Structure formats: structure tokens, C-alpha cells
Chain A
Amino acid sequence: MLEIWNLTKSYGEKKAVDDLSFTVNAGELCAFIGHNGAGKTTTLKCVVGILGFEGGSICVDGVSIADDPIEVKRRLAYVPDNPDLYDFMTGMQYLNFIADVFGVSEEDRSARIDKYAAALSLSPEEIGASISSYSHGMKQKLALISAFLHAPKLIVLDEPFVGLDPKASHVLKETMREFCREGGAILFSTHILEVAEKLCDKVAIIKSGRLVTFGSMEEVKGDSSLEDVFLDMEDPHD
């Protein structure tokens, strides 16, 4: 579903992502972990077409983001770590806007809004309220609902559990699993290694822009915990 080959992205002289390659197949949930400034968000933004890149290629569902970014964007959804939404709209207006852009029918959008809003405990009155009155967690929930609205094939999430209450976190994990069971793929960054360990099929660890390990969760962590593996990879002199 997602193929990244030799991705290289620089900011001036500094290489933020350096020759990064990994794949996420349909039905797989892949955690993307690394220390702050390792290049996670830059990679995710390259995948969803927000940032351009100098080297390598990114394909979603067989379509290259460099060749046809619009087609790639139709197949995916993205939620950033701190989703600044349109605070001049109500939640419903925002969801209608996203659904209009993706051409989702009224029946489908209605059914999906009901399903995901109920799951994430966002009431119809809250969805009808202005986004400017939302808390961080409510914005996060609305952004997540909008991500599922057009039934994408790939969902890219940057720190999706930050700001969510325990119940919403639990529901989101279940929803992510269900989405992958139905054939979708998810790539998400996180600093919560326990969640990644329990939830994911695959894990990619990035350090200073370079991929240091990638594989199935079992392959990567072996008999130890993901936290031990991750900390072992960190250079104590960094």
C-alpha cells in the first residue's frame, strides 16, 4: 500500500531524511518511532504530499506522489500532531467541507459521521458547535473523524494519541485495528512505545533521518521489549 524507496529530504545543508526505505502493506499497522527531531514528521509530510523531497520515491497504492499527487491524496488521509482546524467553521461544516472535497455522498458521510462520532464520544451538539470552542482533544477527535470520512486506503497519523482521553484512546486503537482488518493500512508516529508494541504489526525506527531498523514487531523486538530495543539504539553520547 505504501512504498518508500530511498527517500531523501534536506532543509538547506541539513539532511532531515536520508535514504529512507520501507513499505507498509494493506492490512498492516505500522508504527514509526524515533527521538524528537529524528525526521518522523518530515517523512510523514512527504508521504502525504505536504513537503517535496529531493531523492527517492513514494508510492501509495501503486501511484507515485511525485507523478500524481492529487490521485495519491485521494487514497489517503492525514492527521497532524497538533491539528489546527478551521476555527471559523462548526465541526459539521468542517466535515461537510472535507466530504465535499472527496466527493463523499450524503448517505455515506452521514453514516460515517454517526459511526465515528459515536465511537469517539463527540455528540451531535458538539459537532454542531464552532471549532473555536473546541478543546485540543475535541479537535483531535474531529480530525480523526474527517480522516475516516472518505474511506481511505492509507491513513497517516502523527502522534494520534496526544490529547485524547483514555476512553477515546482505547476506541481509536480499536478503530485502527478494524480499519486494517478491512484492508486499509496505517502508518503512525508515536512516542508511546507500549502502544506501538501492543497495536502494531510492523515498526520502523528512525534516527537522525536514517532508518535504523524495520520489520515485523516480532523481528524487531525479539524477546525484549520495544522500549529496550529503542533505548539500545540510542547513542548515549548523543
Chain B
Amino acid sequence: MIKALFRKQFAELISQFTRRSGLRGRRTGGASLGVFLLLFAVVFAALGASFFVFFKEILAVFDEGNYEIYYLIVGLIATAVGLLGGVFNAYSSIYEAKDNEMLLSLPIPPARILFVRIAALSVMTLLYEAAVLLPAFVAFCAYARVSAAGKASAFFFVIPLTLLVVALTVGIAFVVAAIARRVKNKKAITLVASLLMVGLFYFLYFRAQNAAMALVELGSVPAGLRYGLFFYYQMGRASTGAAEGMAITCLTAILAFALAYFLLSKYFLRFVMQKRSAAAKGKVGVVKAGSRRLALFKREWKLFTSSPNYILNCSFGVVLSLALGVVAITQAGRLQEVRDMILPYLPHFGGSGLGAVVVMLTCVANDVTAPSISMEGNRLWVVRSLPVPTEEIFCAKIGLHLTVSLPFALFATVATSVIFGAGDVAGAILAPFAVIAFNLFTATFGLCMNVLRPVLDWRDEAMAVKTGFSVFVSIFGVMLFATVLTGLYFAFALIFPDWVYLTILIVVLTAAAYGMLRWLRTGGVRRFERLG
């Protein structure tokens, strides 16, 4: 029985990448899985490389006697990453899983259902943890002067830390689920909780180096932190070769995991069987007519704004663009200093081009169109049976992407152009157009990917917005592309002024978007209309 449950749970996970649902469940077979694994390896390596650089810089702060602080910080960052990736996974795959009722109607002890779900969650958490701990470990081995025992302990941290993070994850997810059931606007709760976790991660990430320096200056970890962050402090001690530190780390993690599993197995059934909501009653609606195109756009808008999963996973670039714009205004002096530092090396540097490229990097985190066909799910029949040209459905989806992404992206572009590229009039005029062209490109690219690889038979919305093949390819493909554009900008700035680069960029991006739009109108429409 447990084997069958494991098979189901992991088949569900893997099938998101190997299946083209809607085309009568045709499998794409090994090719898609191969591409996915390759991309996964590339992404893992890219993330690993960036964390390696980050941890290397943190390690530079320490002298020989303070290495326990390093793993205290690493542990906190890894925990934040694990929570960020895991809490809503736990929320939707344990407490609000669509197949809870079906499985509970079968003669399966609830503890076993829970065990399998927690095992799947642990595997995902392990991957998140490894993305942080592996580069931290490599940097530690390369630059820290600690004993072999300390390094051996550091290698195995991934296991106790995963257990602890899973325990925290199911606990926080339980609280979120319990609150969400009691309040009317559960989506707002989910959104707020998600933003808190994103905020926690960025707080730790950006404060890590300063915190490390402050702790080094103190000479030792203060007693308050030793007790308050007991687990992480013991991790730090273990990394310096203290055997009892490793034993306490493992024991604490096992106890936390066992306690979480015990409590959850006690309350899981009660929680799932609770009555969820009262009878359907709302305010009397208003009959209001509008155009077909507007109705399609409003449908996309409502779908987007009603889903915290969709908002958080597909429009985080909006927050980054806003932050960039605010930083550009509030830190104008420092930006101009950076500009003055660059000028001697890049004689044609204008600033507007770099501003536009940085804004594009923030827009990479907007992939609204990438899961937009998948989000139709079992409701696809509605638009397929209505007298609506498929191109109009595509237009509404691209329109939503641009509506979400562009306002703050343009704000950031104007802010960076004015402050960073003062005097570069041609560049300042072209930069917003380059950002618009980039967003049009990413919107059409995401939609093309999703038309090619939709996931329509999801049971949990998070599957569609987080883990589909098209989402993965869109996010990381565009990320790679934007990185190349950044590199090309600096290469161009050696020889040409910014406006030349921006003009070429606008022409190339618009041409690419036009090509994809043409395909969407022909091949894309045909593929969409085959989804049934």
C-alpha cells in the first residue's frame, strides 16, 4: 500500500514535466525529461555559482577563530530558502490537497497518507536546501581553515537541516491553513504570509554580510543568539569540528521532525474533515454589459488576482522593478558615483542602456503568460465552446502580462534613466521602448511555451504556476537571455553609445516577438484548438 502511495505521489510530481495534458495524455517521453533534467542541472549550477560567490564573500570576513558564525548564517539562509519553497507546497499538498477526500475514502490509515506526503515534501526541501548548502560547503572547504571533522560535519548538515525545515514548514503551513479557513479572504492571508517569507529571505540575504561582520567584531556569539538560535549555533560549532555540536544538531532536528509528525498525524484527519465553509451567499450581483475583448481581459485579470500562487510566482518582478525604481531615486548619489567609476573603462557608457538592462533583469521574474494556458485547467471547455477567436484569448493573456509587468518596469526605467544616465537624451528616449519590447518578447515567449506544453489536468493550482515545463523553460530561458543581453551591453559600450545598443535591442526583440506572435496566430491557434 505504501509503495502504491509513493508511486502516485512521485508520478504526480514527475508527470508535470513529461506530460502534455489536453492532448489526450500523450507523453513526450524521454526527450522532455532529458531537457528538464538538463535545465535543472543548469539552473542548479547557476544558483550554486551565485550562492558560492555570496558565501565566499561572507567567509572573507572571518579569521580562524570565528567559523561557527559562518554556518550559523548559512543555516538561517538555507532555512529561509526551504520555507520559501516549502510552506505553500505543504499547504497545498498536505492540508488542502484535492485528493485528500478521495484517499481518505479508501482503506488507507491517514498516518500513511501523511507519511508519503511528508516524504515528498522532504525530497523537495532537500533540493532547496542542497541549492544553498552545497555551494556553502564548497566555499567552506576551499577557504576556511578548519579540521577535516568539521568539514565532514558540514557535508552532512543537509540531512538535519532538511528535517528541521520540514518540521517548521508543516507547522507554519498548518497555521496558514487554519487561519485561511477561519477568515473570509483566505487569499489575502496566503498572499501576506508569502510576502512575509519572501521578505525574510531577502532580509537575511542582504543583511548576512553585515551581521557576520558585526558578530566577528564582537569576538563571539552573544548568549542571546546562542539560545535563541540554538540549532544554528550548534551547527556552527559542529562545522568547527565539535562532535557534541553535530550530535546536538542531529538530535534537535530529529526531535523537531518527530514532534511535528506526531502532532500532524494527530490533527491531520480532524483538520481535513472540518467543515470548510458556510452555504454560498454573497451580495446581489450587478448586471453589466461590456465588450467581448474586455470580458476576456477581465477574465484573465480575475484569474490572476484571485490566485496568490499565480501572483507570487509569476509577478515577483513587479516588486523588484518597484524596488529598483525606489533605490534609483533614494540612492541617486551612489548610483552617480558608480557611473563615474565606470566611465573611464567604458568611454561610450551612457547609463540609460544599463538602466534598461537592469530593469529587464527585474522583469525576468514576471512570467504571467507562461502558465496562463495551464491555468485554464478543467475549465478550458468554457472558452473552447464559446464563439471567441483563439487569437483574442491569446491577446488577453499577453495583455495581462504587459499590464502587470509594464507600469513599475517603466517607472524604474524612467528613474534609472534620469538618475543614472543624465545627459544621455537619445538613450533616455529609447530605454522605455527597449523595456516594452523586452516585456512583449517575454510575454509571447511564455505563451508559446505554454501552448506547446500545457498542464491542464492539475489538481493543485501551484502545480500549474510553479512546476510546469513551460514555466521552468520560460523563467530560466529568459533569465539566461537577459544575462546574455547584459553581457552584450558592456561589450557594445566599449565601442558604441547606448542608443545604438538600445536601437538594435528594440529591433531584435520586436522582430522576435513578431515572429512568435505570427506562430501563435497559426500554429499556436491550431495547437490550442486541439486541446480538448
Confirm or deny: B106 has a beta carbon within 8 angstroms of a beta carbon on chain A: no
Contact status A84-B379, CB under 8 Å: yes
* CA gap between A86 and B289 in the complex, in Å: 18
Confirm or deny: A173 has a beta carbon within 8 angstroms of a beta carbon on chain B: no
- Interface size classification for chain A: 35 or more
Confirm or deny: A99 has a beta carbon within 8 angstroms of a beta carbon on chain B: yes
The interface of chain A, by Cβ under 8 A from chain B, is 11-12, 45, 48-52, 70-74, 77-78, 80, 83-86, 88-93, 95-106, 109-110, 113, 124-130, 133-135, 138
**CB-contact partner of B377 in A84, A104, A110, under 8 A:** A84
Contact status A91-B285, CB under 8 Å: yes
Confirm or deny: B348 has a beta carbon within 8 angstroms of a beta carbon on chain A: no
* Chain B, Cβ-Cβ closest to A75: B387
Q: How far is the CB of B194 from chain A (nearest CB, A)?
A: 18
**CB-contact partner of A105 in B278, B289, B382, B384, under 8 A:** B289
Contacts of B277 in A (CB 8 A): 133
Residue in A70, A85, A97 with the greatest tally of chain B CB atoms within 10 Å: A97
Contacts of A128 in B (CB 8 A): 281-285
Q: Which of B262-306 contact A (CB under 8 A)?
A: 277-292, 294-296, 298-299, 302-303, 306
Number of A-B pairs whose CB atoms are under 8 Å?
A: 121
Contacts of B291 in A (CB 8 A): 100
Contact status B379-A86, CB under 8 Å: yes
Q: How far is the CB of B370 from chain A (nearest CB, A)?
A: 18
* CA gap between A106 and B289 in the complex, in Å: 6
Residue in B281, B299, B381, B389 with the greatest tally of chain A CB atoms within 10 Å: B381
Given contacts A52-B529, A89-B302, A106-B289, contact A125 B283 (CB under 8 A): yes
Contact status B289-A100, CB under 8 Å: yes
* CA gap between A236 and B285 in the complex, in Å: 53
- Count residues of B near A (Cβ-Cβ below 8 Å): 40
Confirm or deny: B307 has a beta carbon within 8 angstroms of a beta carbon on chain A: yes
Given contacts A45-B532, A51-B532, A52-B529, contact A109 B287 (CB under 8 A): yes
Given contacts A84-B377, A84-B379, A113-B287, contact A90 B385 (CB under 8 A): no
A-B contact pairs, 27 of them (CB 8 A): A50-B381, A52-B529, A73-B387, A73-B388, A84-B378, A84-B381, A85-B379, A86-B303, A88-B306, A89-B302, A90-B282, A90-B285, A92-B284, A92-B286, A101-B295, A102-B387, A109-B287, A109-B289, A113-B287, A124-B285, A125-B281, A125-B283, A125-B284, A129-B282, A130-B282, A133-B277, A133-B279
Q: How far is the CB of B496 from chain A (nearest CB, A)?
A: 48
* CA gap between A113 and B286 in the complex, in Å: 11
Q: How far is the CB of B451 from chain A (nearest CB, A)?
A: 16
* CA gap between A91 and B381 in the complex, in Å: 17
* Chain A, Cβ-Cβ closest to B278: A133
* CA gap between A80 and B386 in the complex, in Å: 13
Contacts of A124 in B (CB 8 A): 284-285
* Chain B, Cβ-Cβ closest to A105: B289
* Chain B, Cβ-Cβ closest to A88: B306
* CA gap between A74 and B292 in the complex, in Å: 13
* CA gap between A73 and B379 in the complex, in Å: 17
* Chain B, Cβ-Cβ closest to A147: B385
